[in-house]
Amino acid sequence: MPRLPLLSALLTVTVLGAAPALAQAIQPKPAAPPETAAPSVGADTLKPGKPAVKPYLSEAAAPDTVQILSPPPASHSPLDNADRAAFTNTRALRGSARWELASSDVAEGAAAILDTYACVLGTRIDQTRVPAVITLFDRARLDIARATRGPKLHYRRLRPFVGNEAPICVQRTQQLADSFSYPSGHATQGWAYALMMAALVPEKATVILARGRAYGESRIICGVHWLTDVAAGRTNGSAIFAALMGDAGFRADMDKARAELAKVLDGKGPPPEAALCTRESNALKEPALQF
């Protein structure tokens, strides 16, 4: 019996010592902070607050270019033979003014297209002065890419330089070799942009469209596309432009871009480099694709 008081004291100390921990354990836990919502797909994560660039056309409104385009030519058909002749004969242009122009035409995209048309427009356009034009081209470029991707993946045509060591005007890379050739994405984009530029500056439509044709043919000179790839690209670009013209948002942006260009094409802007324009003019005087 004498041990009972001691046992009771020990139990009391133990319980009292554990009380703070016990009290903490039974306290209600604070609510977890709410999860941060994922950014909207309509927001540009690189430029917070600025809407992301998106195509004009919905999937339903976009033309099915696999159905619109003819298949690439069959092996050893007359068109295939013409493709091979064009590739072989244009290798002799290496080092020429036309080859140099084709090399510079490798640049593509909204900003590059302004440089492409500097000589025919007679002025160099600072892209920061024409944000509506850049937006128009950037958004349309997504529609162009979608319309080109379908037939490329459908036909999986190899590029003309694959399997040989013939010179081309760009660096040979496995990525380029593994990408497909039909239709030409550069020619598609170049022709769609040419049609847009001709509609924006109709008084210069002839020289703009002639330059747009040459821009596509530069892909043949470069040796990275067959002649029929480029021809299909022009059809592809025309189909996309026609579909875009049916979109109210695109037409509204065209009106904004037209007003912007009218201000910068007032004859007071900086002229393009004379030497570059002379080279371009000389390169385009003689047809490069006679064979």
Interatomic CA distance for residues 249 and 61, integer angstroms: 13
Say if CB 57 and CB 143 are below 8 A apart: yes
Give burial (CB, 10 Å; 0-12/13-18/19+) of 146.
middle
Catalytic residue among 225, 234, 247, 253: 225
Phi-psi region of 274 (alpha: psi -120 to 50; beta: other; left: phi over 0): alpha
Catalytic residue among 83, 105, 143, 229: 229
Is the omega angle on the peptide bond into residue 183 within 30 degrees of 0, that is, cis? yes
Eight-state DSSP code of residue 92: G
Q: Is 115 a catalytic residue?
A: no
Catalytic residue among 157, 219, 234, 247: 219
Q: Is 44 a catalytic residue?
A: no
Interatomic CA distance for residues 8 and 50, integer angstroms: 72
Both tokens of 42, joined, read 């309509």
3-state DSSP call for residue 124?
A: coil
Give burial (CB, 10 Å; 0-12/13-18/19+) of 4.
exposed
Nearest-CA neighbor of 203 among 122, 287, 111? 122
Alpha carbon of residue 31 to chain centroid: 46
Eight-state DSSP code of residue 135: H
Q: Is 219 a catalytic residue?
A: yes
Catalytic residue among 157, 159, 186, 234: 186
Q: Is 76 a catalytic residue?
A: no
Nearest-CA neighbor of 195 among 253, 154, 245? 245
Kindly list the catalytic residues: 186, 219, 225, 229
